[in-house]
Amino acid sequence: MKILLANPRGFCAGVNMAIECLDETIRMFGPKVFVYHEIVHNKYVVERFTQQGVTFVNTIDEVPEGSILLFSAHGVSPEVRTQSKARRLQTIDATCPLVTKVHLEAIKYARDGYHIILIGHEGHDEVIGTMGEAPASITLVETPEEVAQLKLPAEAKIAYLTQTTLSVDEAGRAITALKQKYPGIESPPKEDICYATTNRQDAVKQLAQQADVVIVLGSQNSSNSRRLREIGESIEKPAFLIDGANELQPAWFESAETVLITAGASAPEQVVQDCIEWLQSRYGATLDEITTREEHVSFPLPKELRVLQSAHA
Ligand code: 2E4
Ligand code: SF4
């Protein structure tokens, strides 16, 4: 058996920053801190912080007045910021700057009188946060079929934005439908699906052809990880999204000569290494890591944390 190990895979710059943000907050203030939503959508990352004593919440009224509260990498709506202020919480914003970019675009288009079509998944944390910036000016769509249902006035100024972790190909189909229906539709100069999402999908597209099975490490609620599994499936390879090596099943590998392993942007490298070890010890698999693109992106910690760091030094 041969393992093809996709590179880039796993943690992106936004996830590295968000996790470092929480680690650093714990280092300075101890573990009695709160996080609004899962810091990233990964079971092991969340478990690790929960074991350290961090509390993850889904509403602001679960957080005791005056506490320290981090906003997750997926971003929050202005309403959540207002509620946090009203509770006198000390907030640290671990939102990925590439999500913030989409928020700023939404604010700008809404201010300029545009109606915004947001392409994204209903109920996803990031979509809820982005829509909260201008609820009256944003309509959410997921598919070309939903684009066909749109009924916007002919004279409306229209722009589209997207969630950062969509399938590049599926979003492309929705965008084509939007451009056909609204030829004047505008969009930001640089697209919203982020570099990490695009690069991880490209790697799977390039490598999955050579594989008999595709293993994606990531949690079921991780949008970008789900998209990676779907790419494997779309080229008719058995493709599995799992949190860790304990979910691997021998039946998946009965006639597999080549196994592609990748990981979503929120999956720690340790779970990848555990899977490699599992395949090596059972099947004597060899390892071939293939880099389809170099990544050199990193984000600074949020300003409010850097200020606290210097006060704490
Ligand atoms: C923030 C924005 O959005 P998704 O469900 O893929 O989030 P996940 O936490 O799995 O990945 C990191 C991330 C965070 C991606 N985009
Ligand atoms: Fe940011 Fe992209 Fe990573 Fe999401 S996947 S946290 S948008 S870099």
CATH code of 165's domain: 3.40.1010.20
Pocket probe for ligand 1: among 40, 76, 225, 241, the residue whose CB has the most ligand atoms within 8 Å is 40
How far, in whole angstroms, is CA 204 from its chain's centroid?
A: 17
Torsion of CA 46, 52, 58, 61, to 10 degrees: -170
Q: How far is the CA of 145 from the centre of ligand 1 (A)?
A: 25
Residues 6 or more apart from 46 whose CB is under 8 A from it?
38, 39, 40, 56
271-290 mean pLDDT: 98
Band (pLDDT 50/70/90 cuts) for residue 95 is: very high
Q: How many alpha carbons lie under 13 Å from residue 148 in its C-beta half-sphere?
A: 4
Q: How far is the CA of 42 from the centre of ligand 1 (A)?
A: 9
- The last residue of one of the domains, among 153, 181, 209, is 181
Position 234 in a domain: yes
195-202 mean pLDDT: 98
Torsion of CA 202, 208, 213, 215, to 10 degrees: -20
Same domain membership, residue 82 and residue 121: no
The strand ranges marked E within the chain are 2-7, 34-36, 55-57, 68-71, 90-93, 114-119, 138-141, 157-162, 213-217, 239-242, 258-263, 286-291
Among protein residues, the one whose CA lies closest to atom 6 of ligand 2:
14
Query: Closest ligand 2 atom, CA of 96?
Result: 1
- Looking at residue 19, its pLDDT comes to 98
**For residue 154, which of 182, 114, 117 has the smallest C-alpha distance?**
182
Same domain membership, residue 157 and residue 137: yes
User: How many Å apart are CA 25 and CA 92, to the nearest integer?
Assistant: 9
- Looking at residue 276, its pLDDT comes to 98
Position 189 in a domain: no
Q: How far is the CA of 194 from the centre of ligand 1 (A)?
A: 11
- Looking at residue 154, its pLDDT comes to 77
Same domain membership, residue 102 and residue 90: no
Pocket probe for ligand 1: among 21, 36, 74, the residue whose CB has the most ligand atoms within 8 Å is 74
Quick one: tokens of 48? Answer: 């690790």
- The predicted-structure confidence for 126-170, as pLDDT tens digits, reads as follows 999 999 999 999 999 999 999 999 999 878 999 999 999 999 999
Mean pLDDT of the chain: 98
Same domain membership, residue 7 and residue 17: no
**DSSP summary character for residue 126:** H
34-60 mean pLDDT: 98
- What CATH number is given to the structural domain containing 54? 3.40.50.11270
- Looking at residue 101, its pLDDT comes to 98
Query: Closest ligand 2 atom, CA of 297?
Result: 8
Same domain membership, residue 105 and residue 84: no
Same domain membership, residue 254 and residue 276: yes
Query: Closest ligand 1 atom, CA of 224?
Result: 6
Around ligand 1, the residues with Cβ closer than 6 Å are: 14-15, 40-41, 73-74, 96, 99, 126, 164-165, 222-225, 264-266
User: Which domain covers residue 137, as residue numbers?
Assistant: 98-181
Residues 6 or more apart from 220 whose CB is under 8 A from it?
226, 241
Position 187 in a domain: no
Among protein residues, the one whose CA lies closest to atom 1 of ligand 2:
14
Q: How far is the CA of 186 from the centre of ligand 1 (A)?
A: 25
Residue 110 neighbours by CB distance under 10 Å: 18
Q: Which positions are annotated as active-site residues?
A: 126
310 has a pLDDT exceeding 80: yes
Same domain membership, residue 35 and residue 91: yes
- Provide the percentage of residues in the chain whose pLDDT is more than 90: 98
Position 221 in a domain: yes
Query: Closest ligand 2 atom, CA of 265?
Result: 5
- Looking at residue 313, its pLDDT comes to 81
Query: Closest ligand 1 atom, CA of 74?
Result: 1
Same domain membership, residue 108 and residue 89: no
312 has a pLDDT exceeding 90: no
Pocket probe for ligand 1: among 127, 224, 226, 243, the residue whose CB has the most ligand atoms within 8 Å is 224
Give yes or no for a contact between 44 and 246, defined as CB atoms under 8 angstroms apart. Answer: no
H helix or E strand, kind and range, residue 303:
helix 303-312
Domain count, the chain: 3
208-217 mean pLDDT: 98
69-74 mean pLDDT: 98
Give yes or no for a contact between 275 and 261, defined as CB atoms under 8 angstroms apart. Answer: yes
Same domain membership, residue 127 and residue 89: no
Position 186 in a domain: no
293-303 mean pLDDT: 98
> How would you list the strands of the sheet with 55-57, edge to edge?
55-57, 34-36, 68-71, 90-93
Ligand lying closest to the C-alpha of residue 101? 2
Ligand lying closest to the C-alpha of residue 13? 2
Position 190 in a domain: no
296 has a pLDDT exceeding 90: yes
Query: Left (φ > 0), alpha (ψ -120 to 50) or beta: where does 229 sit?
Result: alpha
Q: How far is the CA of 10 from the centre of ligand 2 (A)?
A: 11
Same domain membership, residue 282 and residue 199: yes
Same domain membership, residue 92 and residue 79: yes
228-252 mean pLDDT: 98
Position 128 in a domain: yes
Position 209 in a domain: yes
Same domain membership, residue 279 and residue 259: yes
Q: How far is the CA of 90 from the centre of ligand 1 (A)?
A: 24
